[in-house]
Amino acid sequence: MYKYVLKRLLFLIPTIFGVAFIIFLVMNITPGDPARALLGLSAPQADVDTLNHELGYDLPFLQKYFNYLKNMILHQDFGRSYFTKQSVFDEVWPRYVITIKLALIGVLLSALIGIPPGIYTAVKQYSLWDTIPSVIAFFIAAIPAFVFGLLMLFIFSLKLNWLPSFGATTVYHFIMPTLTIAIPPAAQVMRFTKSSMLEAIRQDYVRTARAKGASERTVIWKHALMNALLPVITQVGLSLGTLICGAVVAEKMFSIPGIGSLIIDRILYKDEPILLAGTILISICFTVVMLIVDITYAFIDPRIRAKYTTGRKE
Partner 1 sequence: MKRVLIAVFVFLTVLASCTAFAAEGDKTLVLRTERAVPSLDWEQTTNTSNMKVWHQMFEGLYGMDEANNGYYNELAKDVKISDDQMTYTVTLIDGVTFQNGDPLKASDVVFSYNRARKNSRFNYLTSMIEDVSSTDDKTVVFKLNKPYSPIAHTFFCVKIASEREVTEQGEKYGTVPHKAGTGAYYVTEFDVATGMKMQAYEGYWRGAPAIKNVQYVVIDDLSAAVIAFKNNELGYFEDVPLSEWDFLSEASGENNALIKGNNILFTAINYLSPTNNNILANQKVREAIFYAVNKNDINLAVSNGRGVEATQYMPSDYVATSPVSGFKTYDYNVEKSKELLKEAGYPDGVDVGTILTYGATSASKAILAQVLQANLAEVGITAQVSVMEAAVVTPRLYAQDYDICVFSDYGNYDYNNIRQQVHSESTGMYVVRYKDPASPFNWQRIEELVDAGVNTADVAKRLEYYTELWSIVMDTATILPCLHDPVGVVWAKDLDVGKPVPTYYKVRTFKWK
Q: Site residues (CB under 8 A) for partner 1?
A: 38-44, 47-48, 51, 83-86, 91, 94-95, 101, 104-105, 108-109, 111-112, 150, 153-154, 157-158, 161, 164-174, 252-255, 257, 262, 265
Supply the minimum distance, in Å, between the C-beta of residue 6 and partner 1.
26
Q: Which is nearer to partner 1, 67 or 86 (CB)?
A: 86
Supply the minimum distance, in Å, between the C-beta of residue 263 and partner 1.
12
SS3 of residue 80 by DSSP? strand
Q: Which is nearer to partner 1, 16 or 33 (CB)?
A: 33
Supply the minimum distance, in Å, between the C-beta of residue 24 and partner 1.
20
Q: Which is nearer to partner 1, 62 or 158 (CB)?
A: 158
Supply the minimum distance, in Å, between the C-beta of residue 295 and partner 1.
17
Q: Which is nearer to partner 1, 161 or 310 (CB)?
A: 161
Asked if 277 and 78 count as a contact pair (C-beta separation under 8 A), the reply is yes
Instruction: Determine the Cα–Cα distance for residues 96 and 288; give it in Å rounded to an integer.
Output: 15
Q: Which residues of 252-274 are buried (b: 16+ CB within 10 A; e: fewer)?
A: bbbebebbbbbbeebeebbbbbb
Residues in the chain: 314
Supply the minimum distance, in Å, between the C-beta of residue 156 and partner 1.
10
Q: Is 258 left (phi over 0), alpha (psi -120 to 50) or beta?
A: beta
Phi and psi for 135 in degrees, rounded to 5? Answer: -65, -45
Q: Which is nearer to partner 1, 171 or 211 (CB)?
A: 171
Instruction: Determine the Cα–Cα distance for residues 111 and 97; give it in Å rounded to an integer.
Output: 21
Instruction: Determine the Cα–Cα distance for residues 3 and 66; give it in Å rounded to an integer.
Output: 30
Q: Which is nearer to partner 1, 47 or 216 (CB)?
A: 47
Residue type, 33: D
Phi and psi for 60 in degrees, rounded to 5? Answer: -60, 150
Supply the minimum distance, in Å, between the C-beta of residue 87 and partner 1.
9
